[in-house]
Chain A
Amino acid sequence: MSFLKINNLSIDYPMRRETVYAAKNVSFEVKRGEILGLVGESGSGKSTIGNSIINLIDEPGKVSGGSIILDNIDIYEKPENILKLRGKKIGLIFQDPQTSLNPILTIGEQLIETILTHIKVSKNEAKEKAINLLKEVGIKDAEKRFNNYPHQFSGGMRQRVVISLALCCEPELLIADEPTTALDVSIQSQILDLIKKLTKSRNLAVILITHDMGVIAETTDRVAVMNNGELVEIGNTKELLTNPKKSYTRSLVSSVPPTNIKINRFKIIEKENSNKNTNIKILSRWKKRELKKDNLVKVSNLSKTFDDSFFSEKNSEKVMAVNNVSFEIKEGESFGLVGESGSGKSTIAKMIVNLFKPTDGDIFFDNTCITKIKDKNEMMKFRRQIQMIFQDPYSSLNGRFKVKEIISEPIKLHNPSIKNEDLSSYIYDLLESVELSKQSAERYPHEFSGGQRQRISIARALATQPRLLVCDEPTSALDVSIQAQILNLLKDLQEQLNLTILFISHDLPVVRQMCDRIAVLKNGSICEISETEKLFNQPNHDYTKELIKLMPKIESIYK
C-alpha cells in the first residue's frame, strides 16, 4: 500500500517574461519502509516537488494540476489539510543546517515547542522525549547538550539536531532535500547511515532529493530521475543504474566520474556548444614549449597561520591552516591536492598564486624563489606564468564588464602596446579555443550559464600564456554533465599547450580522472603523496583509506 501518491502533478512559476514549468505531469509513489531517491541536475524540479508535498512552494509558484495524496488525504483539496500533516505526518529537512535552526533559542526549547504543538503531554514528558530523540540521532551527552544553542554544534551534529526536530512527532514520511551536500564526505556517510537506520527502525517512507549519483547508489531502494520538470525514468535503483532505459538517464550515469578506474575522456552525449574545433587556435601564437621534465613548482616547508584577532579583544584565535607542507610538481603533469574542508588545500593554492603570503617556508617556480620577491615588476614576470580558475562561476567574473573587457584585462596589462586589431583577434581565438563563439565577446556574464562562465574564466586564465594553471574546485559547482565537458576541455588544453596543472578538489573520483599524482591533505598537513592509480589501489595512510572507503560510489550498485 503506497503511503504517498503523486498524480500528474504540475507546478508553474509565472514570471515577468515567461512562465517556468517547474514540474510537468509528474507521477510516482512511495511506500513505508523504503527510500526513494529523487535525482536530477539543477533546475530539474526535484526540490520543487519536495516543497510541494508539504505545501511550502516559494512564491510565485503554484500547483497548476494534479494531486498529492498522503495516507488517503488529498493535500491540496483544502488548505487546512496540510496544517494537520506538517510535522505530524511529514518531516522535512533542508540542505543547510546552519540556517535551519533559530539562533536565539536553545535546541531544547525548539524541540519542546515542536513536541507540544502536536502531542498533548506535559512539559517534563516532552523534555524526556526530546532527550531520547537526541540520543537516537547520535548526540552524545544529550542531557547537557539539550541546553546548547545551535552555534555550539558542528555542521554534522547540527544536521543530526535538524533530523531529530523533523522526527520528534513521529512522522511517517520524511523528505530530505540535499541533506548532506553541505557536509564533508566523512560526515556525509554518517548522516546517510543514520537516515537508513531510522527508515528501518521507524518504518518511514523517505524521499531523498540529491544530485549526487553516488549517494543514490548507496542509500536508496528506488530512484526517480528528473529532467527539466519531467519524470524521465523511475525504478529499482540497482536496475536503473545498471540498465538505464532512457537516453537521458544513460548520459547522466555515464557523466559520473567512475571511482574504480581511470578513463581518458568523459563520455558526452548532449553538448552545450555545438562547434568544436580540434585545432586549438591559440596554438599559433603560443610557442609550444618543450617539456623539460624538471620540477616547475617546488613547495618546501610551507606554513600559514591565520591570526583571527577580533578588534579590541586581547586574546586572538590562531588557526594554523597549513603546516609544514612540501611537494613538487613536474612540468607538464597534473598534480592533485585532495582533502576535506579545512584541510588547507585552497590556502596552499592561494599562496602559490601569491594571494596570501606564507608565514613560513618557500615556493619555487622554475628554480626562482617567488616568495622572496619584493619588486613589483619582477613579480609581474611570474604573474603571467601562473594563473588560476575558481570554483564559483558566478563570482569569478565581474558582472559589470563585457566578456571582451574581462579577457583583455590581463592581455593589456602585460602587453600595454598591443594594437586593437591584434587584441580583438587574440580574444576571438581564445574564445574559440574554449568552444565559445566570437559574439560572446560583446555579451555580459549574466547571459551565460555556469558551464559557459567557467569557459570564459579558462579563456581569461590562458590569455597570458601561463605555464602553470591552478584549478581550485573548478567543477564542484556545476552539474555532472557540464562537469564532464569542462574536465574534457581542460584535458584537451593541457595536451595541446603543455600546461602544468595543479588540481584542487574534495571530489575523489574527479581527481582520479584528472591527475597523474595526488597529495592527500588533512588539517593542514600532507598525509600521503603518490601516483594516482597507486593511491587508489594501495593507499598507504589510514586517512586516505578512510576517504576512499567513504566516498559515495556509484559502482557499489554493481556488487
Chain B
Amino acid sequence: MDKNSFFNRMLDSDVFFSFKKSPTAIISSLILFIILFSSIFAEIVSPYNPFDPKSLSLMDAFIPPSWSEGGETRFLLGTDGQGRDMLSTIIYGSRISLIVGFAAILFSAVFGVILGLTAGYFGGKYEMAVMRFADVQLTVPSILMALLVDGIARGLIPKNLHGEMAIYVLIFAIGISEWPQFARVSRGATLVEKNKDYVSASKIIGVGNLIIMFKHILPNILRPILVIGTIGLALAIIAESTLSFLGVGVPPTTPSLGTLIRIGDDFLFSGEWWITFFPAIFLVLLAFSINLLGDWMRDTLNPKLN
C-alpha cells in the first residue's frame, strides 16, 4: 500500500482534517451533492416532467403546497399557473442554472489563468497590457459587463437564432465578466513562485518555459485559484439568475431558477406566494452552500490566518 499515493495523502492532509472537524463544510458539501445529483439525474429524480405538454393540465394550476389548505400530496410544493409541478420545475431549472454557472466559470478560469500565468511569468509590456485590461475591467461591475456583452450579442445575432444562441451568449457574457479576478490572482501567485529557486533550478537545467509554467508553477498556484473559483461559481449562478430575472438571460423555453422567480413574481400580490418562493429558496440554498464551502476553503488554505 503506497503510503504516498494521492488518496492516502489526501486523507491524511490537514485540509481533510479540518473538513472532518467543520460541520459547515460537511453540511454544505452534502447539500451541494444532493442538488448536483438531482439536477444531473433530473429525469430520474424529478417526480414529473414539467416540459411535456401532454402531462400538463390546466385543472392542476395554482395548487398550493401539500401541507397547506387545498394542497395535494402528489404536488409536494404546489403547482404554477400552467399546472406544472413546482418541485419538478425547480429541479430542471437548477440544472440550467448549474450548467450555465459551471460553464461560465470554467471559461473564465481557463481564460483568466492562462493570461495571468503568462503575464506574471514573462513580465514586461505584455504583463503591463494584460493587467491594465484586467484593472480597467475590474472597475466595471460584472453584472454590467455581462449585460453589455449580452446586449451587443443580441444586436449582432440575427433574431431567429436568438433562442438557440442565448445560452452560449450567456455563458460567454458571464465568463468574460469574471476573468480579471482569475488573472489577477494567478499573476500575483505566479510572481511569487517565479522568484523561487526551484524555478531557477529548472531554468538552469534547461527546461523550457512552457513546461516550467504549466508543470511547475501551475500546480503551486492552484489553491487561491480554487478559492476564487468556488466563490466565482456562486457569483456566476447568481449572475445568471439575475439576468434571467431581468429578462435578458436564458430563453423561456429552458427556464432557470431566475426565470422561475420572475414568473412567480407576478403572482406575489394575488396570493400564490409559493410560485416564486420555492425557486428563490432553492437558489439561495445553492448559492449559500457554495459560499460556505468557499469560505471554509479560504480559511483552511490560507496559511497566514491561524
B-contacting residues of A (Cβ < 8 Å)? 16, 59, 311, 350, 353-355, 379-380, 383-384, 386-388, 390-392, 395-402, 409-410, 413-414, 442-444, 457, 460, 464
Cβ-closest chain B residue relative to A390? B197
List, sorted by A's number, 21 A–B pairs whose CB atoms are closer than 8 Å. Answer: A16-B14, A354-B204, A380-B206, A383-B205, A383-B206, A388-B200, A388-B204, A390-B197, A390-B200, A390-B201, A392-B197, A395-B196, A400-B216, A409-B202, A409-B205, A410-B205, A413-B206, A413-B207, A443-B4, A444-B4, A464-B205
Cβ-closest chain B residue relative to A59? B306
- The contact string, 1 if C-beta is below 8 Å from chain A, for chain B 174-203, is 000000000000000000000011101111
B17 at the interface (CB under 8 A from A): yes
In Å, the complex CA distance between A386 and B148 comes to 55
Closest approach, in angstroms, between the C-beta of B207 and any C-beta of chain A?
Answer: 6
Set of chain A residues within 8 Å of B284, measured between Cβ atoms: none
A355→B200 contact, CB < 8 A: yes
B4→A387 contact, CB < 8 A: no
Set of chain A residues within 8 Å of B205, measured between Cβ atoms: 383, 387, 409-410, 413, 464
Set of chain B residues within 8 Å of A402, measured between Cβ atoms: 4
Closest 7 pairs between A and B when the two form their complex, measured CB to CB: A396-B197, A395-B196, A390-B197, A383-B206, A410-B205, A398-B198, A400-B219
In Å, the complex CA distance between A148 and B264 comes to 64
Set of chain A residues within 8 Å of B254, measured between Cβ atoms: none
Closest approach, in angstroms, between the C-beta of A454 and any C-beta of chain B?
Answer: 11
CB contact under 8 A between A353 and B4, given known A396-B197, A397-B198, A400-B220:
no
In Å, the complex CA distance between A460 and B200 comes to 13
Closest approach, in angstroms, between the C-beta of B134 and any C-beta of chain A?
Answer: 14
In Å, the complex CA distance between A311 and B202 comes to 29
B128 at the interface (CB under 8 A from A): yes
Closest approach, in angstroms, between the C-beta of A528 and any C-beta of chain B?
Answer: 29
In Å, the complex CA distance between A410 and B220 comes to 20
- Interface core residue of A311, A400, A464 (most chain B CB under 10 Å): A400
B198→A396 contact, CB < 8 A: yes
Q: A311-B128, A443-B4 are in contact. List 15 more A-B contacts (CB 8 A).
A: A59-B306, A355-B200, A355-B203, A355-B204, A383-B204, A388-B201, A390-B200, A391-B197, A395-B196, A395-B197, A396-B196, A397-B198, A409-B205, A442-B2, A457-B201
Set of chain B residues within 8 Å of A311, measured between Cβ atoms: 128
B201→A386 contact, CB < 8 A: no
B220→A398 contact, CB < 8 A: yes
CB contact under 8 A between A396 and B201, given known A16-B17, A379-B206, A380-B206:
yes
Set of chain A residues within 8 Å of B128, measured between Cβ atoms: 311
Contact of A384 among B17, B206, B220 (CB under 8 A): B206
Closest approach, in angstroms, between the C-beta of A455 and any C-beta of chain B?
Answer: 14
- Interface core residue of A380, A386, A395, A443 (most chain B CB under 10 Å): A395
Cβ-closest chain B residue relative to A60? B306
Residues 118-132 of B at the A interface (beta carbon under 8 Å): 128
Set of chain A residues within 8 Å of B207, measured between Cβ atoms: 409, 413
In Å, the complex CA distance between A463 and B220 comes to 24
B198→A395 contact, CB < 8 A: yes
In Å, the complex CA distance between A402 and B207 comes to 17
Contact of A399 among B202, B206, B220 (CB under 8 A): B220
In Å, the complex CA distance between A399 and B206 comes to 20
